[in-house]
Chain A
Amino acid sequence: MSDATALERVDAALERAARLEARLHAFLSLDAAGARRRAAELDAHSGPRGALHGLPFAVKANLCWSGVETNAGSALLAGYRAPYTATSVQRALDAGAVALGVANMDEFGFGSSGENSAFGPSRNPWDLARTPGGSSSGAAAAVAAGSVAFALGSDTGGSVRQPAALCGVSGFKPSYGRVSRYGLIAFASSLDCVGVLAPDVERVASVLGAISGADERDSTCLPEPSCSAPAPRSLQGVRIGAPREHFGAGVDPRVAACVRAALSELERLGAQVLEIDLPHTHAAISTYYVVASAEASSNLARYDGVRYGKRERGDGSLQGMITATRSSGFGAEARRRIALGSYVLSSGYYEAWYVQALKVRRLIARDFERAFERVDVIAGPTSPSLAFALGERSADPLAMYAGDALTTPASLAGLPALSTPCGLVREGDSDLPVGLQWIGPHGADEFVLALGAAWQRASAHHLARPALAQEAQR
């Protein structure tokens, strides 16, 4: 495939994506004409090639892509065509990648299963009756199915890592501030990170190298150069902390056993695995949902039917129009989180809920700081469960939120975190992937990716593909 022209790669990807779409619903739109035109331009260009030359990729529907419908999975933004392109998307394009289409997602990132998309859920390529995870649901499904070489997603509380785990691909959330958020439709500004999903860590790292680095258009973006490609390294002597809390109550014993087996493999490769404690892990979900909902209620105040998106007339007054627009435009989970956020920020409740959560957030961050005095990296399960059936948790928000127990701590602390496949568990007629999460100190993005890449050079879990992907390649 490496000798193929960009146009041949893009044609093959478009054909596969279109053929699988009826089963996966990974995409909200495919830009076949634009992708082919761009690929032909790349082939005609004789100069030096970009790091991502000719690689077809999917863009999560909350990353602005000029001229293309960027609806964030929300009915409220149906028809919204972004007037500019997100920095991360533009840098991927500048490095020679070809944007194939817009990936499905939970509305504004509110969800862990893809079922909160206003345009219908995506399906897991390993078992079409199950969720691919979320909120980067379509991105993970498209990568796992082999339709794209990588996808750009966003991760606020696990939205890249959890779907990567459930779909058996590699997914990375960088340190907060390593990748510009310019052009990412805001959910929770102190947590949102643009992330990458790809079949393996080396590909993740090359994409991260292209999209990371300083950007004056995002004031929280760190004034650092882009991430460099991780130099090949050994796992010899690396101290890996395994948090007891990440293997405890609420974690499927089959997932815990699979991750323990992976840690044993890492030990055989020379790493040293140490039991550690992250004592405030139990409070991560509560903290996250208070903080993220508060920020979301503020960020989503902009959807008032005035400047973009749909508008409902209501009773004809300005306030009536705004209320009618928001009440009918947002889905149930979006309304729940916006209301929750308004509640915890409102007079009389602000200190007890929001400020209290921010203090616990610091305790969670301190847990990590203390742990990194003893270990180089922390590893455990990414998701406490296997991919669950569509519909299984959609009526119960608390059951859905519980799935974020192990990804939200790194988000709250702003740390880089990677999910890599570490094995399959048989359930019914399906083999379902398990993800191993690696969490590093802030700024240690290259180090975390280097460890993941080292493990993938010495193991084969990341090579497992769903039958559907193999069928599509024939």
Chain B
Amino acid sequence: MDSPTPSASAAPDAAAVERALRLARLAATPLEGQRFAAEFERVLASFSELARIDVRGVEPLATPSARCDVLREDVLRPSLEREQLLANAPQPLDGFFGVPKTIGGES
């Protein structure tokens, strides 16, 4: 079921592109999907040089920051008011963020 062990030079197949779009919560018409897949393939092909670089013994560098695990004291601090936070919400609902009904009944 899973794709074979990928190498960075492997071109993405249509199913993999569709999966990436689904994971990203992005929809595309079939025509857009095709165009997208072709573009995607071209972009990734141009990045395939990455796979040819010898990285044996090299640790990944996720951030240039020397700071990590920075914690502050676990005490309550003033923050934004509920009204301010809801001011930009597309559907404020009784002091909460409104979303389509997800459990039971009709939406």
Contacts and interface: CB of A to CB of B under 8 A. Distances in A.
B43 to A, nearest CB: 6
Contact of B23 (A222, A310, A346): A346
Interface residues of A, number: 73
A464 B99 CA distance: 55
Interface in A300-332: 301, 304-311, 316-324, 326-327, 330
A189 B59 CA distance: 19
A342 interface: yes
Contacts of B36: 335-336, 339
Contacts, number: 182
Nearest to A397: B43
A365 B64 contact: yes
Contacts of A84: 80
Interface stretch (A1-9, A43-51, A151-159, A350-358): A350-358
B63 A327 contact: no
B24 A286 contact: no
Contact of B25 (A287, A317, A326, A360): A326
A84 B10 CA distance: 45
Nearest to A353: B8
A362 interface: yes
Interface in A250-307: 280, 282-283, 286-287, 289-290, 297, 301, 304-307
B27 A323 contact: yes
Contacts of B47: 286, 289-290, 353
Contacts of B7: 352
Interface string B56-77: 0011111111110010100000
A306 B58 contact: no
A309 B88 contact: yes
Nearest to B28: A327
Contact of B55 (A220, A322, A359): A359
B25 A319 contact: yes
A338 interface: yes
A111 interface: no
Contacts of B24: 297, 326, 335, 338-339, 341-342
A352 B6 contact: yes
B65 A306 contact: no
B6 A349 contact: yes
Nearest to A359: B55
Interface string B29-68: 0000000100110111011011101010011111111110
Contacts of B49: 282-283, 286
A177 interface: yes
Contacts of A340: 20, 40, 43-44
26 contacts: A289-B43, A289-B47, A306-B99, A317-B102, A317-B107, A319-B25, A321-B99, A323-B26, A327-B26, A330-B26, A335-B24, A338-B24, A339-B20, A340-B40, A340-B43, A341-B24, A342-B20, A342-B23, A353-B47, A357-B50, A359-B53, A363-B55, A397-B43, A398-B42, A398-B43, A414-B64
Interface of A: 79-81, 83-84, 176-177, 189-190, 216, 219-220, 222-223, 280, 282-283, 286-287, 289-290, 297, 301, 304-311, 316-324, 326-327, 330, 335-336, 338-343, 346, 348-349, 352-353, 355-363, 365, 397-398, 412-415, 442
